[in-house]
Structure 1
Amino acid sequence: MPVESVVLNHRDNVATALINIEGGTTLAVEIGRETRKITVLQRIPFGHKFALRDIEEGQPIYKYGEVIGRATQLIRKGEHVHIQNLESIRGKVTEG
């Protein structure tokens, strides 16, 4: 069976699609030594992210064990995570 997605750190709350994944597809996603079944809710293009669990508005998005942004709305488990529901924090400067 081909690997369809990747999660590189146990803290991640998103996985990255390694192929185009059709909505309604149930995947076996490996997170460390654990395997979880996730049904994607929409089509996930190659290289895009989908949520491994529900992520509340304002919560951080973790990829590779690092915060890459914040949820701008509730993101459901299996939902496409992209610019429509993710605010990137890359390159933002905070004054202090």
Structure 2
Amino acid sequence: MDLNISNKKTALVIDSFDNVAVALTDLKQGEECIIRFNNREEEVTVFEDIPFGHKFAILDIDKDESVLKYGEEIGRMMVPVKKGSYIHNHNMYCERGMK
């Protein structure tokens, strides 16, 4: 696997507990990008277009499972998603604003 990031798109994992990454550029369906976390690098293929600054799963996340960003729960999944799936308000909910 060629992990030369000079020609690869990248995404940011903010905290080692996170299960999402943030796209550092627009990503198109089927593109691979490099994520760095826990002192390693990994390639992830995205399943959908993901705009710059938006989140995608870095591992499978089940329905009602916490979405973790900044090491904190920012919401829960409405549906299960696979690694590389776009995470946004179309498939994630936040109970904090509902209480």
Same fold by TM-score greater than 0.5: yes
TM-score (normalizing by structure 2): 0.86
Partner of 1:79: 85
Measured in 1, the distance between the counterparts of 2:76 and 2:97 equals 14
Residue 60, structure 1, aligned to residue 69, structure 2: no
Q: Mapping of 1:1-96 within 5 angstroms?
A: 1=6, 4-93=10-99
Structure number with the higher helix fraction is 2
Ranges of 4+ aligned residues in structure 1 off by more than 6 Å: none
Measured in 2, the distance between the counterparts of 1:16 and 1:3 equals 12
Aligned-residue RMSD, C-alpha: 1.4
Task: Kindly tell me the number of residue pairs found equivalent between the two proteins.
Answer: 93
Q: Are the aligned partners of 1:68 and 1:89 in contact in 2 as well (CA < 8 Å)? A: no
Unaligned 5+ runs, structure 1: none
TM-score (normalizing by structure 1): 0.89
Unaligned 5+ runs, structure 2: 1-5
Q: Secondary structure at the match of 2:81?
A: coil
Q: Secondary structure at the match of 1:4?
A: strand
